Amino acid sequence: MGLGGDGCVNEYVFQLPDAEKKKALDELREDDNIRKQSLDQMRDWILKHPNIKRCRTDPQFLLRFLRTKKFSVPQACEMLERYLTIRQLYPQWFRNLNPEDPDLEEIINAGYLVPLLERDEGKLVLFSCAGKFDPHKFTSAHMVKVHSMVTEALMDDELNQINGYTYINDESGFQMAHISLWSLTDVRNILRCIQNTTPMRHKANHFLNISPSAIKLIEFAISSLNEKLKNRIFIYKSLEDLHANVDKKILPKEYGGEVPLADMLKEFKTFLKSKKNQLLELDDMYIEIDEENCPLVSEMNEELGIGIDGSFKKLTVD
């Protein structure tokens, strides 16, 4: 299945498939020496940072940032600092990621967000279905928190760190009620968080069955992305169009594949519960933040568009 990846990275790296070893070298500039030196430098930076009081320093965690930033240690350190800061500025999105929380568990059980069993040319595929998220019962914070919980459970996997992620989003069942959950500020904030603080290699984002209601939200979201991510978004009018770009064998049976979505979900739920302690222990990390005098917070507030008012409730939908 390839969802896991626990264990000592320095030992596990030598067990990576040859394709991943080559990709890590070719795309990320990673070899044994660079990896060791970079990990040592990051640990030293964390130790000397005046505001970081508690932080994971194991290889699996630090390699999230180093691989995302292609082993630029300064950029990896900056992303880590942003990651720690965002977790404390937005606890409703990023903290207490408990798979046994009744609300989060219900959303997962509905099949809203599920990693597929087969990979897309090495990339892990996250499959979401908007219609499986109940906008009358849950909030936008629940939605973001489910995504945070699922991705945090997956990010220590070295195959995911090296190959990155593909996203397939079925927007059928999307309602105006989904739009009303979000303010423009929240959409902009979470997209900025994804771009600048989440240590993931976002490789492709596929959208299917977009309704007139959904297109307004998606268009606004796309406009807030950087050019690289914009160029990795693909929108399809039919399932056949998706099949032309994504091998249908990796998809759930309901979308032309071979394995029912319910079977994929059952396996993922077992995996997710096995990560409970690891997910909750993330909250032990701590960085001191002086929101009034911290240049990083001011910079991030400006980037995140804090102060922008508005709501999708006011948008006109054709």
DSSP letters, 88-146, are: HH-HHHHS---TT-HHHHHHHHTTSEEE-SS-BTTBEEEEEEGGGS-TTT--HHHHHHH
Direct distance between the N- and C-terminal alpha carbons of the chain, in angstroms, rounded to an integer: 42
How confident is the prediction along the chain (318 residues), in pLDDT tens digits per residue?
A: 334 334 343 443 447 888 999 999 999 999 999 999 999 999 999 999 999 999 999 999 999 999 999 999 999 999 999 999 999 999 999 999 999 999 999 999 999 999 999 999 999 999 999 999 999 999 999 999 999 999 999 999 999 999 999 999 999 988 888 888 888 788 878 877 777 899 999 999 999 998 877 777 777 777 777 888 888 899 998 999 999 999 999 999 999 999 999 999 999 999 999 999 999 999 999 999 976 655 556 665 655 544 333 333 333 333
Evaluated on CA atoms 5, 79, 74, 52, the torsion sign reads negative
Compute the distance between CA of residue 125 and CA of residue 102 in angstroms, rounded to an integer: 25
CA atoms in the 13 A half-sphere facing the CB of 44: 8
CATH code given to domain 15-302:
3.40.525.10
- CB of 59 within 8 A of CB of 5? no
Output the pLDDT for position 231.
Answer: 87
CA 69-74-80 angle, to 5 degrees, is 70
Question: Distances from the Cα of 82 to the Cαs of 85, 146, 161, 282, 297, in angstroms?
Answer: 5, 20, 19, 15, 9
Output the pLDDT for position 295.
Answer: 56
The 10 Å Cβ neighbour count of residue 7 is 13
Amino acid at 90: Y
Output the pLDDT for position 9.
Answer: 38
Q: In the structure encoding, which two tokens stand for residue 221, read together?
A: 């979201």
CA atoms in the 13 A half-sphere facing the CB of 96: 11
Output the pLDDT for position 182.
Answer: 83
Amino acid at 313: K
Compute the distance between CA of residue 109 and CA of residue 112 in angstroms, rounded to an integer: 8
Output the pLDDT for position 296.
Answer: 58
